[in-house]
Amino acid sequence: MPYRAPADDIRFILDKVVPVAPLSATDRFAEATPDLIDAMLVEGARLCDEVLAPLQRAGDTDPPRLEDGVLRSTAGFAGAYAKIAEGGWIGTAAPVDYGGMGLPQTLNMALQDMMSGACLALQLNPMLTQGQIEALEHHASDALRDLYLPKLISGEWSGTMNLTEPQAGSDVGALRTRAEPLGDGTHAITGQKIFISWGDCDFVGNVCHLVLARLPDAPAGTRGISLFMVPKFLPDADGNPGAANSLGVVSLEHKLGLHGSPTCVMAFEGAVGWLVGEPNKGMAAMFTMMNNARLGVGVQGIGVAEAACQKAAEYARDRVQMGPILGHADVRRMLATMRAEIFAARAIALSCAVALDMARATGGSDWADRAAFLTPIAKAYGTDTGIRVAEAGVQVHGGMGFIEETGAAQYYRDVRVTAIYEGTNGIQAMDLVGRKMADGGDMALRLLEEVQSGAEAARGASPDLAEAVWSAAETLRETTEWLLAQEPRDRFAGAVPYLRAFALVLGARFHLVAWAEGGARRALAEVFIRRILPQHTACLAEAREGAAGLYALSDEDLVAG
């Protein structure tokens, strides 16, 4: 049974659980009617099922290669990318003035969910371009926007993000790439970047690199970082790719998974670049791109989880061991858990996207604060769910899951990096308990009040489930107040389990809403609330342990064992 894009599940969430209707009531998204959204989900699902999914295995078994400095992509990727570009899918949420559709990011995230499940390695390419489009829209000069946005939105050109250097991973302030003014408004960019996804591409006319670099005499640390547009080919007077720029791919990384997506070591040797935004303000511009990408990466995890779950369920249905293994209680436990967590993660991600869109449409700071708070949860929980579900999928397959030909292991290998992309999940958790609670925990407590209000409203129909959700939110509220009184190190020591607890409570809220719709939704909600939500108790116990026990171990204890 081939991959089937989960358009029906997404449609249900956007209709019943995280309603998207308020978006179409705004002037900005008035065209995003239910009929239009439904049509795009149907067409997007068809693209995923018929064009992208058949390339999933090819990307793994026939990865890109570097031949005499020229990248050769996986056979079939060029044709599939052309279908993505021709359908306008890269510009779903992009500005209309430059050729985009101007539709909600919520719809774009739903489409990226389906594309990630179909073929994550190829989906990465347009997702990175979308992030670059947003960064340029908000920070670039009119001249740069006029030149680059139409070509990026159409898919003629692709975009990348160049942050990481060998000595500067999460510590971006340690980067050494230099930008020397050339006297004509351009700069000579010199340095090396690593881990650059789709750093080169042989099915677009130009690859446009956003590169972080330092101007002469720039302040130390992140305060002295600027952002530059550095294209593979220098645009000529007509805006078409001209002479080759002084940059190239040094090598391709040998990765655990995601083999179909080339991860490049890039060398910039006096390459010509144009400043994006203000000098020494590159991090602000880059964070625009990264925040988009963080939600997108969370959605990638959800998409892969969906595909891994489908494959495991198909195997369980067909595999006979004392009867079909789908009838065995433990296999049913794994599959039900997988499906329940996917629903929770998908609902959280879409609720974050709706908040992001409502902030853009209304200018409301409350919506912006909500989106900012939900972003690290959506990213970390979405990718953690992808990893857990893919790992469980291998287990459902038993010994065959360890055999590459079944394809089950590929999902685990491919999705594992998403917990590292765009700031590790530990960094997401520290952001949650740090910057995102700099408001004194106001947004966190408001979200918990909403959970409890929803639980109160559900008491008449399902008192036991409603009580479980209400009590979980209350315990989380108490731990939130405890965290707010702690020093940063103690907060950070418990940040990861705290984020998971918050995700479980939010997921339970959305499952409780779905429960009211009856049918299979009801059974799945009971699996989540009765079997998965109780894990929040252990998570919060760990979160409240603080840092003392961790630092009671010496460095030598941790290294030597």
b/e per residue 42-59 (b: at least 16 CB within 10 A): eebbebbbebbbebbebb
**How is residue 325 written in tokens?**
């293994």
Phi, psi (5° rounding) for residue 70?
-110, 130
Question: CA 54, CA 73: separation in Å to the nearest integer?
Answer: 16
Amino acid (1-letter code) at residue 475? T
Kindly report the length of the chain: 561
CB atoms within 10 A of CB 305: 32
183: left (phi over 0), alpha (psi -120 to 50) or beta: left
Please return the burial class of 365, using the count of CB atoms within 10 Å of its CB with bins 0-12, 13-18 and 19+. exposed
Show Cβ contacts of residue 479 under 8 Å, excluding neighbours closer than 6 positions: 498, 501, 540, 543, 544
Residue type at position 139: H
DSSP reduced 3-state for 495: helix
Active site residue 422: yes
Alpha carbon of 132 to those of 29, 139, 195, 442, 548: distances in Å? 22, 10, 17, 32, 42
140 phi/psi in degrees, rounded to 5: -80, 160
Specify the 3-state DSSP secondary structure of 206.
Answer: strand
Q: Taking the CA of residue 534 as centre, how many other CA atoms within 13 Å lie in the half-sphere pointing to its CB? A: 5
CB 322 within 8 A of CB 136: no
Asked if 265 contacts 196 with a C-beta cutoff of 8 angstroms, the reply is yes
Residue found under tokens 């590169």: 211
> In sequence order, what are the beta bridge partners of 249?
266
**What is the Cβ-side half-sphere exposure of residue 234, based on CA atoms within 13 angstroms?**
14
Residue 175 tokens read as 């980067």
- Alpha-carbon distances of 552 from 485, 486, 491, 514, 556, rounded to whole Å: 22, 18, 17, 45, 11
Could you say which of 165, 341, 391, 422 is catalytic? 422
Structure tokens at 386: 């992808």
Cα of first residue to Cα of last residue in the chain, in angstroms, is 47
Instruction: State the catalytic residues.
Output: 422
